[in-house]
Amino acid sequence: MAQQAKLTVRKRAEVGRNAVKKIKAQGLVPGVIYGASLEPINLQVEGRALANLLAHASGENILVELEIVGDDKTDNALAMIQEVQHHPMKPDILHVDFHAVSATETVTAEVVIETVGEALGVKTYGGLLEHVLRYLEIEALPKDLPQLIEVDVTNLNVGESLHVRDLQLPPGVSAITDPDQTVVAISESRVEEEAEAPVEVAATPEVITAKKPEATPTPES
């Protein structure tokens, strides 16, 4: 199921480049929450707490119970971490987007597909495992979102494949991806041996010599 964590954030009144620099100097990360029936709210979150949460995530779908502090009151919101912007050269987090969700309404998400086991066609017959589909688009309640989808390929032989319709999804989870889409397949090994090129013996060019002039017969004396 989706990893759920708690995180305290604060409302951020000041916006703009200078304001962002100021809060970053304090070890804070700017962010925003939007979605559902919630008006977008600018936030700031403690950088170390956010980095620790992301470091321990076992998948991409992280469900967060936010405690939003500000305006002399504290609000709670359930959200998914929608996007995290990282510095291109440093491990710093530049910005985080939270997408507010309802615990009673389904959401869509992309989940990683991971193969389990060693395929019969690979182990016994030297075939090749082709991982055609890496992500599966699904629909579920927030609490039912899986971290990943496991596909057991142990009994898959050469020439066989598994499609989206063949996947065993957790309870409460349905696939949006085309059911006929191939997920994994076992193909024959196509190792081609290089044919030995025939050795061509260069023909010795024929040497044509000039014909010697015939000797003129000496007249008899």
pLDDT-derived band at 196, boundaries 50, 70, 90: very low
Whole-model pTM? Answer: 0.74
CA distance 43 to 11: 5
Is the CA virtual torsion 44, 46, 47, 50 positive or negative? negative
Mean pLDDT of 204-219: 54
Sole residue written with tokens 């305290």: 8
pLDDT on residue 192: 45
**Domain membership flag for residue 194:** no
Provide the b/e sequence for 90-104 (b: ≥16 CB within 10 Å).
eeebeebbbbbbeee
User: Which amino acid is present at 120?
Assistant: L
Structure tokens at 163: 């499609």
Please write the tens of the pLDDT for every residue from 136-167: 999 999 999 998 999 999 999 999 999 999 99
**Domain membership flag for residue 193:** no
pLDDT on residue 71: 77
114 and 55 assigned to the same domain? no
117 and 88 assigned to the same domain? no
The phi-psi region of residue 71 (left if phi > 0; otherwise alpha if psi is between -120 and 50; otherwise beta) is left
Which CATH number is 50's domain given?
2.40.240.10
Specify the 3-state DSSP secondary structure of 57: coil
pLDDT-derived band at 219, boundaries 50, 70, 90: low
Mean pLDDT of 11-18: 86
Please write the tens of the pLDDT for every residue from 108-121: 999 999 999 999 99
Q: Give the H or E element holding residue 46.
A: strand 38-46
Lowest average pLDDT, out of 16-25, 45-54, 56-65, goes to 56-65
pLDDT on residue 195: 44
Is residue 175 over pLDDT 80? yes
**Domain membership flag for residue 212:** no
**Beta bridge partner(s), residue 196:** none
Q: What average pLDDT is seen over the chain?
A: 86
pLDDT on residue 134: 96
111 and 96 assigned to the same domain? no
Q: Which of 40, 74, 100 is the last residue of a domain?
A: 100
By DSSP bridging, strand 107-116 and strand 93-100 are unpaired
**Domain membership flag for residue 134:** yes
Asked whether 154 and 118 are in contact (CB, 8 A), the reply is yes
Domain residues for the domain of 15 are 3-100
Is residue 10 over pLDDT 80? yes
**Domain membership flag for residue 202:** no
Is the CA virtual torsion 160, 165, 169, 175 positive or negative? positive
93 and 153 assigned to the same domain? no
